[in-house]
Structure 1
Amino acid sequence: MYFHFRGKSSVFICFSVFLLSACSSRPELMPTPNVYINAPYSESDIPETLRKTSMELIYVTDRGTSPKKHVKYDASRSASIAYGVAKVNFENKSLQWDELLKQSNQKKRSTDLIYELEEVDELGRFPLSPYSFKRIDDKLQIDKAILEQKSYHETQLNNIINKRLENSETKDVVLFIHGFNNTFDEAIFTLGSLWHFLKRQGVPIVYSWPAAAEGLTAYFADKESGQFTIFHLKETLRLLFKNPEIENIHIIAHSRGTDVATTTLRELIIENRASGGNPRKDLRIENLILAAPDLDFGIIKQRLMAEQFGPAFGRITIYTSQEDSALGISQWLTNSLSFGRLNIKDVDKNEQNIFNSVGNVSLIKVPTSVNFIGHDYFHSNPAVSSDLINLILYNAAPGSKERPLKKLENNFWSLDSDYLIEH
Structure 2
Amino acid sequence: MNRSSGRIAALLVIGLVLAGCATTPRQLMPTPVLYREPNGQVLFDRLVAEQQRPEVDLLYITNRAAEENPENSLPYGQTRRKGMVFGSSVVRMVPGIDWKTLQAQSLLAERTREIALELGEVEELGAFPREPYKITMTRQGTRARDPAEMRAFDETKAAFQREIQRRLAISPKKEVMLYVHGFNETFATSAFTAAELCHFFGREQVCSFFTWPASSTGNFLISYTTTTESAEYAVDHLKKALRMIAATPGVERIQLLAHSRGTAVLLDALRELMIEAIAAGVNPADVYRIDNLVLLSPDIDVDIAGQKITGFVSDPDLTRAWPDNALPRLLNGRLTIYASPGDRALLVSRILFRSRNRVGQLRPEDISPEMQTYFGNLGRIDLITFTGERTDLFGHSYFTTNPKVSSDLVQLIRFGEAPGDPGRNLLRTGAATWEFRADDDSR
Question: Could you tell me the TM-score, scaled by structure 1's length?
Answer: 0.92
1:391 alignment partner, one of 405, 408, 412: 412
In structure 2, what is the equivalent of residue 65 of structure 1?
66
Please give the alpha-carbon distance, in whole angstroms, between the structure 1 residues aligned to 2:173 and 2:306.
34
2:34 is equivalent to residue 35 of structure 1: yes
| CA drift at 1:312 | 0.9
Q: Is the 8 A contact 1:34 1:418 kept in 2?
A: no
Q: Which whole-Å CA distance do the structure 2 matches of 1:306 and 1:92 have between them?
A: 49
Verify the 8 A CA contact 2:74 2:188 in the aligned structure 1.
no
Note closer, same or farther for the CA distance 1:145–1:371 as it changes in structure 2 (3 Å cut): same
Q: Is the 8 A contact 1:20 1:329 kept in 2?
A: no
**Which residue matches 2:281?**
276
Q: Secondary structure at the match of 2:244?
A: helix
* Deviation string, structure 1 residues 86-107 (Cα, Å, up to 9, x no partner): 11112312x1111111110111
Q: What is the aligned residue count?
A: 416
- The amino acid across from 2:179 in the alignment is F
Match for 1:264 among 261, 269, 292?
269
Which of the residues 289, 292, 303 maps onto 2:294? 289
- Is 2:236 the partner of 1:231? yes
Using the TM superposition, give the Cα deviation of residue 134 of structure 1 relative to its aligned residue in structure 2, in angstroms. 5.3
Deviation, structure 1 residue 20: 5.2
> CA separation of 1:23/1:402 partners in 2, compared to 1, >3 Å: closer, same or farther?
farther
Q: Is the 8 A contact 1:29 1:193 kept in 2?
A: yes
In structure 2, the residue matched to 1:113 is 115
Tell which has more relative contact order, 1 or 2 (C-alpha 8 A, sep 6+). 1
Q: Give 1:320's aligned residue.
A: 339
Q: CA deviation at 1:17?
A: 1.6
Shift of 1:21: 4.5
Q: Is 1:81 matched with 2:84?
A: yes
> Is the Cα–Cα contact under 8 Å of residues 131 and 142 in structure 1 kept in the other structure?
yes
1:311 CA displacement: 3.2
Aligned equivalent of 1:13, options 11, 25, 28: 11
Give yes or no for the alignment of 1:311 onto 2:315: no
**Aligned residue type for 2:35:** Y
Q: Which amino acid aligns with 1:52?
A: R
Other structure's SS at 2:178 match:
strand
Identical counterparts, % of pairs: 33
Is 1:339 equivalent to 2:359 in the alignment?
Answer: yes
1:403 to 406, 420, 424: 424
Q: 1:408 to 1:244 in 2, by over 3 A?
A: same
The answer to whether the 8 Å contact 1:27/1:114 transfers is yes
Change (3 A) 1:10 1:318: closer
Alignment map for 1:178-189 (pairs within 5 Å): 178-189=181-192
1:295-329 CA deviation, whole Å, 9 max, x = no partner? 10111223331224993112100001000001123
Q: Give the superposition deviation at 1:65.
A: 1.2
User: What is the distance in 2 between the residues matched to 1:140 and 1:420?
Assistant: 64
| 1:349-368 residue CA offsets vs partner (Å, 9 max, x unmatched) | 44223211211100001142
Determine if contact 1:188/1:206 at 8 Å carries over to the other structure: yes
Distance of 2:162 and 2:79 partners within structure 1:
28
> What's 1:150 paired with?
153
Preserved contact between residue 61 and residue 86 of structure 2 (Cα < 8 Å): yes
Distance 2:293 2:376 in 1: 17
Which secondary structure does the structure 1 equivalent of 2:16 belong to? helix
Change (3 A) 1:43 1:267: closer
Paired amino acid for 1:263: D
Shift, 1:35, TM fit: 0.7
Corresponding position: 1:357 with 2:377: yes
**1:250 and 2:225 are equivalent in the alignment:** no
Deviations 1:47-103 (CA, angstroms, capped at 9, x unpaired): 33211111111101011112327861111111121111011112312x111111111
Change (3 A) 1:274 1:135: farther
Give 1:334 deviation, angstroms.
1.3
Partner of 1:3: none
* Unmatched 5+ stretches in structure 2: 314-326
305-314 vs 181-190, which moves further: 305-314
CA deviation map 1:368-399 (0-9, x unaligned) = 22233100011111111111111111221111
> Which blocks of at least 5 consecutive residues in structure 1 are unaligned?
1-5
Aligned partners of 1:379 and 1:18: how far apart in 2? 22
Asked if structure 2 preserves the Cα contact closer than 8 Å seen for 1:86 and 1:120, the reply is yes
| Alignment-derived partner of residue 102 in structure 2 | 100
Say which SS state the counterpart of residue 329 (structure 2) adopts: helix
Which of 126, 129, 149 in structure 2 is aligned with 1:127?
129
User: Which amino acid is the alignment partner of residue 153 of structure 2?
Assistant: K
Residue 40 of structure 1: CA displacement? 4.6
AA partner of residue 117 (structure 1)? L
Question: Does the alignment pair 1:370 with 2:391?
Answer: yes
The answer (yes or no) to whether the contact 2:85–2:124 under 8 Å persists in 1 is yes
Deviation string 1:120-153 (CA, Å, 9 cap, x unpaired) is 1111110112222458789874332222111111
**Partners of 1:138 and 1:231 in 2: how far apart?**
29
Alignment of 1:171-210 (within 5 A): 171-210=174-213
Farther off after superposition, 237-246 or 66-75: 66-75
Alpha-carbon spacing, 1:353–1:22, altered in 2? closer, same or farther (3 Å) = farther
Alpha-carbon offset, residue 193 of structure 1:
0.9
CA distance in 1, matches of 2:307, 2:107: 44
C-alpha distance in 1, partners of 2:114/2:300? 35
Q: Secondary structure at the match of 2:417?
A: coil
Structure 2 residue matching 1:44: 3-state secondary structure: coil
Q: How high is the TM-score relative to the length of structure 2?
A: 0.88
